[in-house]
Amino acid sequence: MFPLRLGAALTALACFGILLSVRAAAADTGGDGAAASELAPVVVTATRTAQPLDHTGTDMSVLSGAELQSAQRLFLTDALAQLPGLTVTRAGGPGQTTSLYIRGADAGQSLLLIDGVRINDPGAPDGAPNLNDLLVSNIDRVEVLRGPQSTLYGSDAIGGVVNVILRRGGNSPVAAQFAAEGGSLRTTRYNGAINGTDGIVEYGGAVNYYDTGGISAAEVRNGNTEPDGYANLGATGSVRIHAGDQWSLDLRGIYTRSRTDFDGYPPPDYAFVDDPEFSRDQFRAGYAALNGSWLDGRFTQRFAVIGSQSDRRYFGLWDPETNAFTPGQNSYYKGNATRLEYQTVLRPDASNELTAGAESELTTLRSRYLGTFIPASAADIPSPDAGRDRLNGYFLQWQSTPVSPLTLTAGYRYDFDAQFGGHSSIKFNAAWRLFDGATVLRANYGDGLKAPTLFQLLSPDPYGRLQPERAVGWEAGVDQSFADRLVRASLTYFRRQDRDKITAQSCAPSISAGCSAQGYFYYNINRAHATGIEGELVVRAGNELNLYLNYTNLRALDDQTGLALLRRPHVSLNAGLNWTVGKSSLLNLSYGYVGARSDIDPNTFSRVTLRPEATVNAAVAYTISSSLQLYGRIENLFNHYAEPSAGYSALGRTAYAGLRLSL
């Protein structure tokens, strides 16, 4: 409890100091400067067009690249975990399986975009993105949209959307930044990024390398001591070529390659313990789009072709003769997705906007299990599994401001899946701005569908054909600005209802003769729901002192059993302080509290309750010259220990230091 009390004390002290300085800061900024614009930024994710946040009627969070750098966030999920309504779980140390839950939705129900490219893995069991490998690099901003968003984003977005927008262009032909750091657990990281504008060309790109000795994925308190290391190489690139006043061409690429040691269930006990298994993952994606703009930007079109490929390979074969692992490959999963996208936007006047589009996606999966823990003849080894699915979608959205304080948005989508036929989705948003925008009342409603993944469809099916998951969600909230909009408070109530949720169950011979005892099968459960309240306070006292504080109260339940959905905490709290001292020093403090939540013990398969997590991080930076900065951070400052997932180890206190060079 000591870190919890200290975090609360730091938060209270920070609030007091900041509120004392707000009045003076307001005089410096005039109320309409950078601070105010950061509190009400322009966003693109809510409507797929650039809109002021307070016009969208949605509850969104925006993280700037500067905020990520000042907090020295290394993994994107570390930053997302600090946002209201979002829960992140990692099964062990860096590189281990990481899941994101938005307002109680399952990990595979939310969409991740990086520069317009869908990063959700078509080879993953639930289609979730491989969040383990997403390092912060060359990010301009991150926009997070909560609740069902199928109308604009289709099947993968019934939980929410995370949109990562990378840095491109700039005011000079070349701007570059290089960083190198090292620290605990034999960790090293090297990063280089470049961007600029030269004539008709805007560009940006980055290369990132990370390596750590790690910790044991299996709980160290159960006697597991073998560290599970992790290495990651990633690169991104983006180029926009302006071919005259009307046309431009976008070319983008994303690549990651990683190796992760992990633990498993070796014979003869089949308990979750240290073993020498590891995986090699590779992801690559490309994006090409032709953009057109006419009538001073009031009529635009975009034609895009997007391709992505994931290749996950697992190593570690059990030899029953020697009762030991051999380093051979035991399975692989190769997923591919090819998308065609068309979008047009028509703005007949300043008060109306029509957005329409069509999308077609073909996904394929090839997988094979090459080994077995049980002695078997070659005839017993499963043959390769392969499948494909095509999904076509068409959407239409109208946004109108009939009177200046009120903005209304309505959307409709029709999807046709080759496996499951047609489905319609709708969405309505309303934003009512009062007192010159100082008060914003907002509400929205949305529904959607997520088709079963190819992995799920190819798995044993003892209960009959899987059905798509369906979700309905709505929210209502208010945003209130104070002190010339330097302070903003938000309160949101939300409710989400799921039908036909897909869940996994360990196979047992008594269930079905076609279900191997070494695997899983998937089936639909009836209903689940989530309700909650999110509260947030953001204070930007000039350019020197910033604060955030948010609280989430969530109830996510299985309607059949009445039990809480796994790994969804009832209460979570985050707070942070960013203080620029003079012209050369920076201090960043953050506090995160994740309340008790249910999970399944990997050894007994019984439901357990995880103890609350309370983590304090501290980061400092010192500017040596206009181009050189020294920085360092301590994560989990008070060495609070709580299992992030049942049976998995948690990181203790770690420390890192590095140098950043800007050119």
Answer yes or no: is pLDDT of 173 > 90. Answer: yes
| Percent share of the chain, pLDDT over 90 | 70
pLDDT for the residue 2: 37
Within its chain, how far is the Cα of 56 from the centroid? 21
Contact between residue 432 and residue 443 where contact means Cβ atoms under 8 Å apart: no
Number of DSSP helices (H) and strands (E) in the chain, helices first: 6, 35
* DSSP three-state, residue 67: helix
Report how far residue 489's alpha carbon sits from residue 22's, in angstroms, rounded to the nearest whole number: 14
pLDDT for the residue 572: 97
For 252, counting Cβ atoms within 10 Å of its Cβ (0-12 exposed, 13-18 middle, 19+ buried), the class is: buried
pLDDT band at 17 (very low <50, low <70, confident <90, very high): very low
HEC string for 425-472: EEEEEEEEEECCCCEEEEEEEEEEEECCCHHHHHCCCCCCCCCCEEEE
Q: Is the peptide bond before 348 cis (omega within 30 degrees of 0)?
A: no
Contact between residue 40 and residue 485 where contact means Cβ atoms under 8 Å apart: yes
Position 348, amino acid? P
Between 31 and 600, residue with greater pLDDT = 600
Helix (H), strand (E) at residue 77: helix 76-80
Rg (CA), the chain: 25
As given in the structure block, the two tokens for residue 488 are 């903003």
pLDDT, tens only, 177-233: 999 999 999 999 999 999 999 999 999 999 999 999 999 999 998 889 999 999 999
Answer yes or no: is pLDDT of 126 > 90. Answer: no
Query: Can you point out the beta strands (E) in 483-624?
Result: 487-499, 502-506, 520-524, 527-541, 545-558, 571-581, 585-594, 597-600, 607-610, 613-623
Within its chain, how far is the Cα of 381 from the centroid? 36
Report how far residue 531's alpha carbon sits from residue 343's, in angstroms, rounded to the nearest whole number: 34
Report how far residue 589's alpha carbon sits from residue 321's, in angstroms, rounded to the nearest whole number: 54
Report how far residue 369's alpha carbon sits from residue 379's, in angstroms, rounded to the nearest whole number: 13
Instruction: From 33, 184, 63, 23, select the one nearest 548 (Cα to Cα).
Output: 63
pLDDT, tens only, 218-276: 999 888 999 999 999 999 999 999 998 899 999 999 999 999 999 988 888 888 999 99
pLDDT, tens only, 141-157: 999 999 999 999 998 89
Q: Regarding beta strands 187-198 and 228-243, do their DSSP bridges make them parallel or antiparallel, or are they unpaired?
A: unpaired
Max alpha carbon distance in the chain (Å)?
Answer: 80
Contact between residue 46 and residue 431 where contact means Cβ atoms under 8 Å apart: no
Answer yes or no: is pLDDT of 638 > 70. Answer: yes
Report how far residue 82's alpha carbon sits from residue 573's, in angstroms, rounded to the nearest whole number: 8
pLDDT for the residue 503: 82
For 297, counting Cβ atoms within 10 Å of its Cβ (0-12 exposed, 13-18 middle, 19+ buried), the class is: exposed
Q: What is the DSSP string of 313-364?
A: EEEEEEETTTTEEEEEEEEEEEEEEEEEEEEEEEEEETTEEEEEEEEEEEEE
Name all domains of the chain by residue range, CATH numbers in brackets.
2-662 (2.40.170.20)
Contact between residue 543 and residue 484 where contact means Cβ atoms under 8 Å apart: no
pLDDT, tens only, 26-67: 334 333 334 444 556 899 999 999 999 999 999 999 999 999
Contact between residue 357 and residue 344 where contact means Cβ atoms under 8 Å apart: yes
Instruction: From 533, 438, 535, 552, select the one nearest 487 (Cα to Cα).
Output: 438
Instruction: From 478, 476, 409, select the one nearest 438 (Cα to Cα).
Output: 478
- Span 123-135, average pLDDT: 86
pLDDT, tens only, 470-502: 999 999 999 999 988 899 999 999 999 999 988
Contact between residue 374 and residue 518 where contact means Cβ atoms under 8 Å apart: yes
Answer yes or no: is pLDDT of 411 > 70. Answer: yes
Question: φ and ψ at 12, to 5 degrees?
Answer: -60, -40
pLDDT, tens only, 327-383: 888 889 999 999 999 999 999 999 999 999 999 999 999 988 776 544 333 333 344
Between 558 and 29, residue with greater pLDDT = 558
* DSSP three-state, residue 601: coil
pLDDT for the residue 402: 94
Position 514, amino acid? G
pLDDT for the residue 456: 85
Report how far residue 262's alpha carbon sits from residue 99's, in angstroms, rounded to the nearest whole number: 16
* DSSP three-state, residue 80: helix
Residue 65 is given by DSSP the state H
Average pLDDT of the chain, as a whole number: 88
Instruction: From 209, 147, 274, select the one nearest 530 (Cα to Cα).
Output: 147
